[in-house]
Amino acid sequence: MAKELKTQSTSGELSAFLAHSKQLPQRRDGNPRKLGRMIFALDATASRQASWDRACQLQGEMFVATEQLGGLQLQLCYYRGFNEFVASPWLRDSSSLLDNMHRAQCRGGYTQLQRVLDHAVQQHSQEAINAVIIIADAVEESVDTLCAKAGKMGLLNIPLFMFQEGADGPTQQCFQQMATLSRGAYAHFDERSAATMMALLAAAATFAAGGSEALRQLNSASAQQLLRQLRQNL
């Protein structure tokens, strides 16, 4: 089972990330025209309404930082309401991401994590995806089905970065298993750990843009914790 990442960071760590990110490589294959591709999936059900505006600001700042990597395409996905699943076009700048996020409003409904995983595999079949980030606070689907699909993603080399908001025990167990099976990573956060969450998201995006070598070069405790967990799950 994946180990939970420590949720501690400092302003110095974030400043170090912003300064050092300007020197990070674009892609592990050295091709300057090949952009890393990452799906950024959010739970937009009613339970997350209170944190949605804060999430927009937090994630917007993270993508401003990762622009310095020079090589990332992002697709925003979210689920909400009655069987509603939305996927944006592939985006290359933080302003487009924020525009899409600000247009979204949370609506009551059940989780649709399986649709996120199926969508990621379908997108990967068209062009390789380097990572999938999922931010959610609940699981209301078959854990066995989700874990089976996470295992398939591991075989396809699509690591899941499962970031849990809140402290629901069954959700934590499910997310940790999904992270392990996909050869990804798990972390927990709450309203008191915004800076930590920003650092972890930045590290995950760094991996998508530059691979393990970029994470190794990133002067961030969160990046090194993430790298160790990825290596454990190989």
The one-letter code for the residue type at 161 is: F
Helices (H), the chain: 11-20, 49-66, 94-103, 113-126, 143-155, 169-181, 194-217, 221-232
Looking at the whole model, is its pTM more than 0.85?
no
Q: Which of 31-40, 130-139, 144-153 has the lowest mean pLDDT?
A: 31-40
- Asked if residue 43 belongs to a domain, the reply is yes
Give whichever of 4-8, 28-32, 175-179 has the largest mean pLDDT: 175-179
Q: Per-residue DSSP letters for 61-75?
A: HHHHHHGGGS-EEEE
Given a contact cutoff of 8 angstroms between Cβ atoms, the answer to whether 176 and 162 are in contact is yes
Q: How far apart are CA 150 and CA 146, in angstroms?
A: 6
Closest by CA position to 58, among listed 205, 221, 169, 219: 205
Give the chain's mean pLDDT.
80
pLDDT of residue 216 exceeding 50, the answer is yes
pLDDT at 11 > cutoff 80: no
Identify the pLDDT of residue 116: 98
Q: In whole angstroms, give the CA distance from residue 202 to residue 18.
A: 10
30 phi and psi, to 5 degrees? Answer: 80, 5
Does 3 fall in a domain?
A: no
Identify the band that residue 218 occupies on the pLDDT scale cut at 50, 70 and 90: confident
The dihedral sign for the CA sequence 101, 176, 12, 30: negative
Of the pLDDT bands very low, low, confident and very high (cuts 50, 70, 90), residue 70 is low
CA proximity to 115, closest of 104, 126, 106, 123: 123
Domain membership flag for residue 4: no
- Helix, coil or strand: residue 86: strand
Q: Please state the rounded mean pLDDT for residues 210-227.
A: 81
Give the count of domains, the chain. Answer: 1
pLDDT at 224: 82
Give domain status of residue 81, yes or no.
Answer: yes
The confidence score (pLDDT) of residue 8 equals 43
pLDDT, one tens digit per residue, over 169-204 is 999 999 999 999 999 999 887 777 777 777 888 888
Instruction: Evaluate whether residue 123 is within a structural domain.
Output: yes
Flag whether pLDDT at 58 surpasses 70. Answer: no
Phi, then psi, of 58 in degrees rounded to 5: -60, -50
Indicate whether 144 belongs to any domain.
yes
The residue type at 13: E
**79 within a domain of the structure (yes/no):** yes
Q: Look up the domain containing 75 and give its range.
A: 11-232
**For the residues 34-63, what does the mean pLDDT come to?**
74
Q: What percent of the chain has pLDDT over 90?
A: 38
Residue 102's contacts (CB-CB under 8 Å, 6 or more residues apart) are 56
Look-up of token digits 């993603």: 153
Cα angle value 222/228/42 (rounded, 5°): 55
pLDDT over threshold 70, residue 13: no
- 6 within a domain of the structure (yes/no): no
pLDDT higher than 90, residue 10: no
CATH number, domain with residue 104: 3.40.50.410
What's the CA gap between 164 and 176, in Å, rounded? 10
Q: Which residue has the tokens 């930045």?
A: 202
Least confident of 127-131, 149-153, 157-161, 214-218: 214-218
